[in-house]
Amino acid sequence: MTLALPDCVEVISGENPVGSVIWLHGLGADGHDFEPIVPELRLPADLPLRFVFPHAPTRPVTINGGMVMRAWYDIVTLDSEGRADADGVRESTAILEGLIAREMERGIPADKIVIAGFSMGGAIAINTALNTPHALAGLMALSTYLPLPNEVDGSSGSRDLPVFMAHGSFDPMLPMQWGRLSANKLEETGFSVEWHEYPMAHAVCPQEIADIREWLLRVLA
C-alpha cells in the first residue's frame, strides 16, 4: 500500500534549490507555524533551499481530554517515560521517511536534506534520524526529547549525522532536563550532538534562529 503523504506548506528561499529542510511542527499547530522563520534565517543567494512544512494528521490526544487536534502521535501521560504512543511515533516516522524520499525524487540528494522539528515534531525527527537508511545532511531537534528511548541502542541510523539540539531553560511544557537527557543518550550511542540552551520557555528565540542559520550554512554548504 502506498503511503499517503500529508499536505505541506513549501517555501523556497531562492530559485533552483540545492537542498531541503523538512520541518515538523508541534502539538496543535500546523505547517504554517514555522513558515515565518524562513526569511529570518537570511540565507545567502548561493544556497537556495526548499523548506517543507508538513501538516500533521488530526487525532484525539489523551492528555487533552481526547480533543481532536493536529498531532504526530498521541500523548498518553505527562511523564517523560511512556509519554509517546509508540505506534503513532512509528507511523509518523514512516511519513517523514516518505517526505525524504519525495525530496530525493525531486532531485535533492540525501546529503543535502535536513530533517527538523519542534516539540513532538522534533521527537519524530529524532526517531527518523535513528532509523533512516539515508545519509542525511543533519538533524535539528528543538525543544524536544527522545520519544522511544528504549529503542535507541538497536537503531541503525548513521552516527555521523550532524545533530543540532536546542531547548529553553524555562520550558514549562517539556523541561530542559528531558532534552539534555535525550542528548546524552544520543551521545552515548555514538552521535555527536551540538547542544544549545536559551533563557526562554517552550518557544524559539532570535539567538536560536541565528544559531540555526550558522548550523544550516555548515551542514548544507
CATH number assigned to the domain comprising residue 211: 3.40.50.1820
The helix or strand, by DSSP H or E, that contains position 113, with its residue range, turns out to be: strand 113-118
How many separate domains does the chain show? 1
Task: Give residue 88's domain range.
Answer: 8-219
Look at residue 53 and tell me if it is in a domain.
Answer: yes
DSSP string for residues in 156-207: -S-TT--EEEEEETT-SSS-HHHHHHHHHHHHHTT--EEEEEES-SSS--HH
* Distance of alpha carbon 63 from alpha carbon 74, whole angstroms: 8
Checking if the pLDDT of 96 tops 60, the result is yes
pLDDT at 158: 80
Look at residue 1 and tell me if it is in a domain.
Answer: no
pLDDT at 5: 95
Q: Which of 13, 20, 92, 119 is catalytic?
A: 119
Greater model confidence, 1 or 194: 194
Q: 188 Cβ partners below 8 Å, 6+ apart? A: none
Greater model confidence, 89 or 151: 89
Burial (CB count within 10 angstroms: exposed 0-12, middle 13-18, buried 19+), residue 77: exposed
pLDDT at 164: 98
Mark whether 171 is an active-site residue.
Answer: yes
Q: What is the dihedral of CA 183, 184, 189, 190, to 10 degrees?
A: 70
> What is the arithmetic mean of pLDDT over 187-192?
91
Between 4-8, 152-156, 159-163, 177-181, the lowest mean confidence (pLDDT) is in: 152-156
Look at residue 121 and tell me if it is in a domain.
Answer: yes
Between 75-79, 113-117, 183-187, the lowest mean confidence (pLDDT) is in: 75-79
pLDDT at 54: 98
Q: Which of 33, 74, 85, 171 is catalytic?
A: 171
The mean pLDDT of the chain is 95
Look at residue 66 and tell me if it is in a domain.
Answer: yes
> For 162-176, b where at least 16 C-beta lie within 10 A, e where not — what string?
bbbbbbbeebeebbb
Q: What is the dihedral of CA 132, 49, 30, 196, to 10 degrees?
A: 70
Look at residue 114 and tell me if it is in a domain.
Answer: yes
Checking if the pLDDT of 1 tops 60, the result is no
Look at residue 3 and tell me if it is in a domain.
Answer: no
Checking if the pLDDT of 23 tops 70, the result is yes
DSSP H helical segments within the chain, as ranges? 37-40, 86-105, 120-131, 176-188, 206-219
179 touches 155 (CB < 8 A): no
220 touches 19 (CB < 8 A): yes
Share of the chain above pLDDT 90, in %: 88
Look at residue 62 and tell me if it is in a domain.
Answer: yes
What is the pLDDT confidence band of residue 3, given thresholds at 50, 70 and 90? confident
Q: Which of 155, 158, 196, 202 is catalytic?
A: 202
Look at residue 2 and tell me if it is in a domain.
Answer: no
